Amino acid sequence: MREAGPDGLASRLMESGALTSDWLPAYQAVPRELFVPDLMWPGRTEGVGQADAVDRREDPDAWFHAVYSDVSLTTQWDDGRHSGTTKGKVPTCSNSQPSMVFSMLAALDVPPETKVLEVGTGTGWNAALLSERVGSQNVTSVELDPENAMGARQRIHDAGYRPRLVVGDGADGFREGAPYDRVLVTASVTEVPRELVAQTRTGGVIVAPYATTYGSGAVARLIVQRDGTASGRFVGSSAFMRLRQQRRAWKNVREYLGGQPWPADGVKSSTVLSPEAVGDWLPMFAIGLQTLGVFPWAERYADGTYTLWLRDTDVTSWATVDYEPGRTEYDVYQSGPRELWSEVEAAYWWWDARGCPGFERFGLTVDAENGAHTPWLDSPDKRLPIVG
């Protein structure tokens, strides 16, 4: 077995390419263990979600092992309303997965003395790493949650750094410190806040995990242009907790059925496209870029079958597709002004017809003036079709 601890994790991260040699000194100077509270819930190495709580005071070996594993460590649930050692409903703060932290820092491209704004101080690890790299005087980090901000401040100061730490809404950036050369967002966005584009200097870089309403996500690396837009490619997949204001609570399926039992007024048809095909992270991303306000949910049954539900954020339309292993044709019901399965199917086939392009072939242009987000494939002039 490989050595556990900072060196073991460093060599794994370097082998994978996430940790580049120029970031190694910062990694070594800013040990992750200084930024992880005693009680936390490690992400699973296989699959999704969090494992059971690990408490340093009760099991220091397990805690140390988790800290030097390439997993995210959840440190807060339900915006702090949940306490105790059980898991809450929604993870709302974490010390992010090290491979994600360092690949985002590499994408940010931060020469010494660069002026950086971070959104989402969280546990403070990123802000300290950036401070080590460019000097505390060049780092501003904004955190919305006062409790997270307080914990981060203590840890950052204990580690010997003094960046500017702001408690507030990171979507507003921090004007007093603008313009920034680099902006790093460490919570996912469905819309890149316009203020962040406006507060980045021309030629500056914004790195932000971009999550579509459909569910999947990838890290956007945008360069701010002379005309005030920010444009660039995605650099790899991501799965981040969302910026607090951009989280959505979906209405229950009952609200879509208008009090009637399923399939209510749904119009029946069939499809040869398996619901399994539209459930993988990459096609989900391609579908999410092409559809507006559509989100999926799988209602799973004990026998391995499930119903894929599609709903729209405006609560006007729904669709279901019944999945059974071994079938080649699936029943579809659609209701409302939008035919949501037809939209998802069209988006999937568009992606398939182009050879199933990966995350890195997609890009995004954000117009700070009107807030428009325009996804593209290969180059900004090749806009994606918006179906529906």
Chain residues binding ligand SAM by CB under 6 A are: 92-96, 119-120, 122-123, 125-126, 142-145, 148, 169-171, 186-187, 241, 243-245
Residue 95 or 114 with smaller CB distance to ligand SAM: 95
**Edge-to-edge strand list for the sheet holding 330-335:** 267-271, 330-335, 318-323, 306-312, 294-300
Residue 130 or 310 with smaller CB distance to ligand SAM: 130
Output the smallest distance, CB 348 to ligand SAM, in A.
30
Residue 125 or 318 with smaller CB distance to ligand SAM: 125
CB 166 within 8 A of CB 175: no
Output the smallest distance, CB 94 to ligand SAM, in A.
5
Using DSSP's 3-state secondary structure scheme, residue 89 falls into coil
Q: What distance in Å separates the CA atoms of residue 173 and residue 142, rounded to the nearest whole number?
A: 8
Output the smallest distance, CB 116 to ligand SAM, in A.
12
Sign for the CA dihedral angle at 180, 236, 241, 195 comes to positive
What angle in degrees, to the nearest 10, is found between the helix axes of 281-290 and 340-353? 110
In the residue annotation, 99 being an active-site residue is answered as no
Q: What distance in Å separates the CA atoms of residue 83 and residue 76, rounded to the nearest whole number?
A: 9
Q: Which of 69, 72, 94, 96 is catalytic?
A: 96
Output the smallest distance, CB 76 to ligand SAM, in A.
7
Output the smallest distance, CB 122 to ligand SAM, in A.
3
Q: Which residue is nearest to ligand SAM (CB)?
A: 122
Residue 74 or 290 with smaller CB distance to ligand SAM: 74
Residue 143 or 195 with smaller CB distance to ligand SAM: 143
Q: Where are the extended beta strands (E) located within 242-360?
A: 267-271, 294-300, 306-312, 318-323, 330-335
Q: What distance in Å separates the CA atoms of residue 5 and residue 16, rounded to the nearest whole number?
A: 17
Find out whether the peptide bond into 263 is cis, omega within 30 degrees of 0.
yes
Give the pairing type, strands 73-77 and 91-95.
antiparallel
Active site residues: 96
